[in-house]
Chain A
């Protein structure tokens, strides 16, 4: 392992890191609102909607992210739906995010005391307003620490996109490694770059957890 390997190859890896960050951000930006919608329908008083949603979520959580990714990139084109590798990765990770975060958010929504919901109805507020002003703001707040933890996992899972030729961090490290045969030092640098994002993110998660605990 040598520092000169790192000095020579870090620009390629940094550009890969930037792709990883972008694909993760898009996946979370689409997946988490979708997760909230799923969480709300899974709590719906309408039985059919509730069961269908729970079924969809279970399938989504049961399927490995790698399989979803391959289906979107290699499977969908056979039915004439084609996305670039970047959007395939974002969509696949968004679907996994939606399935997992819906469970996290559902727990958060259920943590809002029923007495507050009752007070809102006693004030004549309609269900939609009670969700919007009372339940969702508090439920999401409770869910923020576990959501941040999950975001770290999705950032790491974005490395799976190297299997669909997306030039993200893992794939840049792999191709640089295979052309220089400096696998150990290049992959080591890639690992450090992942850690440079995930470790501070985990600290923030811990801080968020303590903050939330203060308000409860």
Chain B
């Protein structure tokens, strides 16, 4: 990003977020700040709490304590959250899952249009028009009438991205979007994500794609054992990791 930090407003702010499952602390006092238009990559070994952190941002998981702000909309962990607030919160945060989670009984166009109609109140005609534009944008204009099962994994994930974009989110959250894909199909998904980043979308990406983290992200976060171990410009962390644990993790993923 070219703008100086001070002129950009904050898109996502996590303040001392704690999440426990029973006795097990998955997120231990995590704070994180994402500026508008910034691409943040979260890396780290499995079980580090990366996905849980992402799921807390759009409240698919309720944190036990802390405060989460997305596009100016703040939610305190302790307080009661009404359905209306929940919907408002999720609308601004689009989510893309590792396993795509498309609706298999609906054709591709319906997959993208349904939430526009039910959540944004768009007419079928307007929703379909928008869906077609988005399909075109992810390079799948010809798939509108197909069912998800007739699409490759890479195509399904691009459809899932279009589905999330259809709600005009302020930020996009990606939970290991290429982990279920073979490398070649992963590339077409990463290409769409690169484009999004270039257009200035605020993105948080949990990923094992180190090349992507290195090239595309503005900020790299290394998580270990439910906490942020270190964060900073990706180039710096890749070339001079500040912790032995980071060094070990990077060696393991890069030398595969």
Residues of A bordering B, CB below 8 Å: 113, 115-116, 118-126, 129, 133-134, 137-138, 141, 215
Given known pairs A118-B60, A138-B105, A215-B149, the reply for A124 and B115 (CB within 8 Å) is yes
Q: Are A129 and B101 touching (Cβ within 8 A)?
A: no
Give Cα A119 to B88, complex, Å: 15
The answer to whether B60 touches A126, judged by C-beta atoms less than 8 angstroms apart, is no
Are the C-beta atoms of A138 and B104 separated by less than 8 Å? Answer: yes
Q: Is A115 in contact with B115, judged by CB distance below 8 angstroms?
A: no
A123 touches B115 (CB 8 A): yes
- Which 4 A-B residue pairings sit nearest by Cβ, starting from the closest? A119-B101, A123-B115, A122-B95, A115-B101
- Decide: A124 and B83 in contact? CB cutoff 8 A: no
Known: A129-B118, A133-B114, A133-B118. A121 touches B90 (CB 8 A): yes
Which B88-118 residues have a C-beta within 8 angstroms of A? 88, 90-91, 93-95, 97, 99, 101-105, 114-115, 118
Q: A113-B101, A116-B101, A141-B105 are in contact. List 19 more A-B contacts (CB 8 A).
A: A115-B99, A116-B104, A118-B60, A118-B101, A119-B160, A120-B103, A122-B60, A122-B95, A122-B97, A122-B164, A123-B115, A123-B167, A126-B83, A126-B87, A133-B103, A134-B103, A137-B105, A215-B104, A215-B149
| In the assembled complex, B50 has its CB within 8 A of some CB on chain A | no
CA of A134 to CA of B106 in the docked complex: distance in angstroms? 9
CA distance A60 to B149 in the complex (A): 39
- Which residue of the partner chain, among A113, A119, A124, A134, contacts B91 with CB atoms under 8 Å? A124
Does B58 make an interface contact (CB < 8 A)?
Answer: yes
Q: Which residues of B contact A (CB under 8 A)?
A: 58, 60, 83, 87-88, 90-91, 93-95, 97, 99, 101-105, 114-115, 118-119, 149, 160, 163-164, 167
Q: A118-B60, A118-B97, A215-B149 are in contact. Are A125 and B119 (CB under 8 A)?
A: yes
A-B contact pairs, 16 of them (CB 8 A): A115-B99, A118-B60, A118-B101, A119-B95, A119-B160, A120-B103, A122-B90, A122-B93, A123-B115, A123-B167, A129-B118, A133-B114, A134-B103, A138-B105, A215-B104, A215-B149
A73 to B225, CA, bound (A): 67
Which residues of chain B are near A129, meaning CB under 8 Å?
118
Chain B, Cβ-Cβ closest to A117: B101
Of A116, A121, A125, the residue contacting B60 (CB under 8 A) is A121
Shortest distance between the CB of A22 and any CB in chain B (Å): 32
Chain A residues near B94 (CB-CB < 8 A) = 122
Whose C-beta in chain A lies nearest to the C-beta of B58? A122
B150 CB to nearest A CB, Å: 11
Complex interface: chain A residues within 8 A of B164 (CB): 122-123
C-alpha spacing A141/B104, complex, angstroms: 12
B88, B118, B119, B167 interface centre (most CB from chain A within 10 Å) = B118
Among A120, A123, A125, A126, which residue has the most Cβ atoms of chain B within 10 A?
A123
Query: Contacts of A119 on B, CB cut-off 8 Å?
Result: 95, 97, 101-103, 160
- Measured CB to CB, the closest approach of chain A to B206, in angstroms, equals 14
Q: Is the CB of A124 within 8 A of B101?
A: no
Residues of chain B lying within 8 A (CB to CB) of residue A134: 103
Cβ 8 A contact of B90, one of A113, A116, A124, A138 = A124
Residues of A within 8 A of B91 (CB): 124
Residue of B nearest to A113 (CB): B101
CA distance A123 to B103 in the complex (A): 12
